Amino acid sequence: MCSMVLLVNLARVVFAPLLEPVRMAFGASAAAVGLLATLAWFGSALPRLPTGYLLTRLPRHVVILGAGTTLAAAPLLAATASSLPVLWGSAFLMGISSGIYFIAAKPLLSDLFPKGIGRAVGLHGTASQLAAAGAPLFVTAVLLIGDWRVVFSLISVAAAGVTVVFAVVARRMTVPNGENEDRDFLRAARRQWPVIVSGVLLSGFAGLAWNGVFNFYVSYLVSTKAVPEVTANLLLTVVFVAGVPAFTVAGRLADRVPYIPLVLGIIGSFAGCLFVLTTTTGVYPLAIVSVALGFAIHGLFPTMDTYVLDSLPDVHRASAYAVFSASIIFLSALGSVSFGVLLDAGYGYTAIFRSFALVVAVFVVASGGFQFLRGFPTGRRSEHSEI
């Protein structure tokens, strides 16, 4: 599954470093090629709720095979595209394959590894993050020997091979009980709303802030910190590379310590790093802060997945997780437009970054108070004792 998630996420992020070659090939505007990345992410968000319902009718591994098959076919459409609309359709389909995959794969991981959900989700996320960090390098290497169409051909061939391997493994896999019990999507959403809402409240605003931060990271460094654009892009890559070990470390911690203090500690660290970023100058200090910022925010994702998956009963896990995941990704998607609106309103980058850092910090304090007075719902199934 680690090989498949690497390809799934690669297909979702590969358009960013390909926008310029595609623009030149089709003579398109920046907005027209920019729509490629938007459609890939919109495609990833759109099928999450429907996939949650689909999982009440089909086994998890069957849905994952469907995602793999879609991933193998969609890049061929891009590789042979003679017009930009065809390429848009391919981007949308590749996004859809990722949305389907993530909703089916994470509940399956939690069922296969009930005593080590955090470790399984962390390793799975590490493979996904490797794709995000390595996409520019992969594209650059391929463009040295071929054109942009070769990138999609290679993704298609690799996805087909991984899907076949997964199909063989799935035939020998013991079906977890959760697959037979999760059969009522709406009831799962109604019964598990405390966990769903808690997950969205805990991580939603931090995810929104992060979406705005990383999309405007290069622009912020260039315009406010007087960093050359090439260096700014490199620092953004550093942020994502720092997320690779963060997934593994945070996943292992989530198996060993109480969820809520860990989540609040991670979010508080993110807020602190974001504020420090606004006070830092110089390439090397900015690189250090970028590493800390990337490590902090990427540690939040496996921790939240572990918290939600481990707090849901077998009978509702896939359906309720789909509702949580869809809510989070749509909320996070508002980050870029929120930053853009504030910039258009005349606010500076530093003021916006500091305001978001402050709001996140206040939220951490408020959530800590709620946890002390009443407590967020948890339901650890692991036999590991909390320390």
Structural domain range at position 257: 193-311+333-373
Straight-line distance from the first to the last Cα atom of the chain, in angstroms, rounded to the nearest whole number: 30
The residue among 232, 330, 295, 322 whose CA lies nearest residue 48 is: 322
| pLDDT in 10s for each residue of the chain, 387 residues | 667 888 888 887 787 778 778 888 888 776 777 778 778 878 888 888 888 888 888 887 888 899 999 999 999 999 998 888 999 999 899 989 988 998 888 877 877 787 787 888 888 888 888 887 888 788 888 888 888 899 999 999 999 999 998 888 877 766 555 555 556 677 877 888 888 888 888 888 898 898 888 778 888 898 899 888 888 878 888 998 898 899 889 988 988 888 899 999 999 999 999 999 999 999 999 999 999 999 999 999 999 988 988 888 877 777 888 888 888 887 887 787 788 888 888 888 899 999 999 999 999 999 999 888 888 887 654 444 333
Examine residue 322 and state whether it is found in any structural domain, yes or no: no
Examine residue 162 and state whether it is found in any structural domain, yes or no: yes
104 and 13 fall within a common domain: yes
The residue among 248, 293, 263, 282 whose CA lies nearest residue 116 is: 248
Q: In the structure encoding, which two tokens stand for residue 231, read together?
A: 């260096």
Examine residue 212 and state whether it is found in any structural domain, yes or no: yes
The structure's pTM equals 0.79
Examine residue 383 and state whether it is found in any structural domain, yes or no: no
Q: How far is CA 323 from CA 51, 71, 144, 178, in A?
A: 10, 23, 42, 17
163 and 247 fall within a common domain: no
67 and 143 fall within a common domain: yes
33 and 65 fall within a common domain: yes
Type and span of the H or E element at 145: none
Examine residue 30 and state whether it is found in any structural domain, yes or no: yes
- Residue 250 CA to residue 236 CA, distance in Å, equals 21
pLDDT for the residue numbered 385: 37
Identity of the residue numbered 375 = G
How many residues in total does the chain contain? 387
Identity of the residue numbered 129 = Q
- Residue 375 CA to residue 294 CA, distance in Å, equals 28
Supply angle C-alpha 69, 98, 300, rounded to 5: 150
CATH, residue 103:
1.20.1250.20
Examine residue 325 and state whether it is found in any structural domain, yes or no: no
Examine residue 379 and state whether it is found in any structural domain, yes or no: no
CB environment 165-201: b (16+ within 10 A), e (fewer): ebeeebeeeeebebbeebeebeebbebbeebbbbbbe
- Given a contact cutoff of 8 angstroms between Cβ atoms, the answer to whether 7 and 158 are in contact is yes
161 and 303 fall within a common domain: no
59 and 143 fall within a common domain: yes
Examine residue 369 and state whether it is found in any structural domain, yes or no: yes
Query: Which of 185, 201, 229 is the C-terminal boundary of a domain?
Result: 185
pLDDT for the residue numbered 213: 86
159 and 238 fall within a common domain: no
199 and 303 fall within a common domain: yes
